[in-house]
Amino acid sequence: MTSDMNCERIAELMADYLAGTLNEGESEDLRVVERHLEICVQCREEADLWRKLALLPEAQPDPSLRSRFDAMLEVFREGQREGQREGQEGHQTGIEPGRSLVGRREEPVLTVLNESTRRAEGETAERAIKKPGRSMGGWSWHRSIAGGAWAAVFLLVGFFAGSSTHWNIGNKGPDRQQELAEMHSELRNMKQLVVLSMLQNQSASERLQGVNWSAGQDQPDPKVLAALTYTLRYDSSVDVRLAALDALSRYHSRPEVRRDLMDALQPRQSPLVQIALIDLMVETKDKDALQQLRKFQQDADLNPTVRQRVEWGIRQLS
Amino acid sequence: MRYSMAERAITVPEKLMTNVPSDEDLMFQVRDGAGEMLGVLFDRYQTPLFNFYLRLTGDRTVSEDLVQDVFFRILKYRASYRDGTPFRPWIYRIARNARIDQVRGRRAEVSWEPEFEPAVVSEDAVQQEQESQLLYRALMKMPEDKKEVLILSRFQGLKYEEIARLLGCEVNTVKTKVHRALRELRETVHRLERCRPSPRMAWKSQGNA
């Protein structure tokens, strides 16, 4: 019989042994495992790994997690209090305390949760700026490109500023103007490169920073807009998706952006993003959005709060 | 040779159980309208849950979002908490579902991306001790479904019976899965050792220098 077969045979005993549940009453089992461990290097190493796993340090969540939770709980409790007040006034008798979160009052809850998420998002961005090494990425090629590009941007900005001053003094030759135009274009390309590389970063706070930075561009490159649209639809972090939505909403006057924003209203999106999209459509009084909202309303699995918001949006736009 | 298995993860609730309300008592109060008691449960579980997710995904932001989602779900589904339900397996059931829903959502939308094999080492885990670092990297290389039993049993303090109920399988299956996960972890550690220093890590150290 091979050692592997033996290992498979005692797999269950081994698991009990590791969990420390092979007590004295099952001493025969304990002896079986111990005898096996004496002869089997593989299983000995595995038991050793199990022991070492306990030595892995425990990570601490960011303090903003507690703030987000507190904000959520506060809204929940406020909903409870209102429910109770209404109950006492006899308007809503029989409402279960705290039903607010899933029932009638979910809308303000989600709105405030949305705000708290946005606050957290601000904190994330701030954190990313203050402590660039804290995020998951450590060192990555994205970071190296971004870092290099940043340096190049600053260099170009400095050069550009110096050239402008010189130009203002009096050298208005056509060569000079062409040179400036080229530099300006180069600067914009570099900035776009930074944004694009940041949007691909593994760390959500880096991506968030990329989104925020993209918003500073007057003439966004189609590539940047496409990357933002992609981020809005598929980024794993709701914070980053909401930030991308904010960034894109600045370019709402562009038909292609408007179309992308409407297309982003998908059943699989987070309710927070769905509501933010609906609000944006209503805010910008987009008539084309009406059709999109009606189509979206057909989805049977819509979150009840989102459904309410869609109905509200349709009323506003009709 | 015998290891002291007293190192089995002892979670905060066990330490506090003697003189403070149990998790179950707190959850009953939350269910019956005392939402503020959820804050105590949050204090007890935010770090274990965060580490559960971090060890599964390797991503801090995703892990924090998921922890928030778990407590949102607890409030939402608090009425479904029944007498006699042990709290810890219950909250981990919610935690697993939150992750499953998130993965489903992402898979449907992002199909080409290699899912959840975080190639990046969390800075929290980058300890001076090289061995821990190696072990963490090996854990991060393992697919979530394989390492989940290991994480639940080793770090989250769940018994095999509880994990079996959570996964909807036999206890023996859980034990076998633990054994196989350890085997895979060992093989991954050996593989990483063989190719050390990896180009990525070498680059990393240069970058940090």
- For residues A34 and A97, membership in a common domain is answered with no
- For residues A164 and A88, membership in a common domain is answered with yes
Residue A302 lies in a domain: no
- For residues A70 and A42, membership in a common domain is answered with no
Q: In sequence order, which ranges of chain B are alpha helices (DSSP H)?
A: 12-16, 23-31, 38-57, 60-76, 87-109, 130-141, 144-154, 160-167, 171-194, 199-208
**Cβ–Cβ gap B58/A237 under 8 Å:** no
- A305 versus B28: the higher-pLDDT residue is B28
Domain count, chain A: 2
Q: What is the pTM of this model?
A: 0.52
- For residues A126 and A199, membership in a common domain is answered with yes
Distance CA B156, CA A25 (A): 26
- For residues A145 and A112, membership in a common domain is answered with yes
- For residues A107 and A16, membership in a common domain is answered with no
Q: Which residues in chain A have their CB less than 8 angstroms from residue B79's CB?
A: 96
- Write down the pLDDT at residue B70: 93
- Write down the pLDDT at residue A174: 58
Question: Tokens representing B198?
Answer: 């990896």
Residues in chain B: 209
- For residues A257 and A152, membership in a common domain is answered with yes
Residue A306 lies in a domain: no
Query: What residues contact residue A190 under an 8 Å CB cut-off, 6+ apart?
Result: A149, A152, A153, A156
Could you list the residue range(s) of the whole structural domain that residue A20 is in? 3-55
ipTM above threshold 0.85: no
Residue where a domain terminates, one of A264, A290, A311: A264
Residue A87 lies in a domain: yes
Residue A249's closest CA among A221, A276, A210? A276
- For residues A78 and A41, membership in a common domain is answered with no
Residue A22 lies in a domain: yes
Question: Tokens representing A259?
Answer: 């179309």
What is the rounded average pLDDT of the residues B64-88?
89
- Grade residue A193 by pLDDT with cuts at 50, 70 and 90: low
Question: Out of B46, B120, B175, whose CB is closest to A137?
Answer: B120
- For residues A24 and A157, membership in a common domain is answered with no
Is residue B138 within 8 A of residue B189, CB to CB? The reply is: yes
Q: For the segment B126-144, what is each residue's pLDDT rounded down to a tens digit? A: 444 577 888 888 999 999 9
Is residue A174 within 8 A of residue A182, CB to CB? The reply is: no
**Cβ–Cβ gap B109/A7 under 8 Å:** no
Q: For the segment A141-190, what is each residue's pLDDT rounded down to a tens digit? A: 333 344 444 444 444 444 444 444 333 333 445 566 666 666 556 555 65
Question: Tokens representing A174?
Answer: 């056509």
Is residue A262 within 8 A of residue A281, CB to CB? The reply is: yes
Question: Out of B3, B126, B160, whose CB is closest to A51?
Answer: B3
Residue A164 lies in a domain: yes
Residue A296 lies in a domain: no
Residue A307 lies in a domain: no
Q: For the segment A208-256, what is each residue's pLDDT rounded down to a tens digit? A: 777 766 665 666 777 778 888 888 888 878 888 888 888 888 888 888 8
Q: For the segment A103-153, what is each residue's pLDDT rounded down to a tens digit? A: 333 333 433 343 334 344 333 333 322 233 333 333 333 333 444 444 444
Residue A74 lies in a domain: yes
- For residues A111 and A260, membership in a common domain is answered with yes
Residue A49's closest CA among B193, B172, B135, B178? B135
- For residues A36 and A144, membership in a common domain is answered with no
Distance CA B125, CA B131 (A): 11
Dihedral angle computed from the Cα positions of residues A180, A182, A185 and A189, in that order, rounded to the nearest 10 degrees: -130
Query: What residues contact residue B168 under an 8 Å CB cut-off, 6+ apart?
Result: none
Q: Which residues in chain B have their CB less than 8 angstroms from residue A27's CB?
A: none
- Grade residue A303 by pLDDT with cuts at 50, 70 and 90: confident
Residue where a domain terminates, one of A264, A287, A304: A264
- Write down the pLDDT at residue A45: 92
**Cβ–Cβ gap B33/A73 under 8 Å:** no
Residue where a domain terminates, one of A14, A37, A55: A55
- Write down the pLDDT at residue A43: 92
- B85 versus A158: the higher-pLDDT residue is B85
- For residues A13 and A122, membership in a common domain is answered with no
Residue A234's closest CA among B105, B81, B48? B105
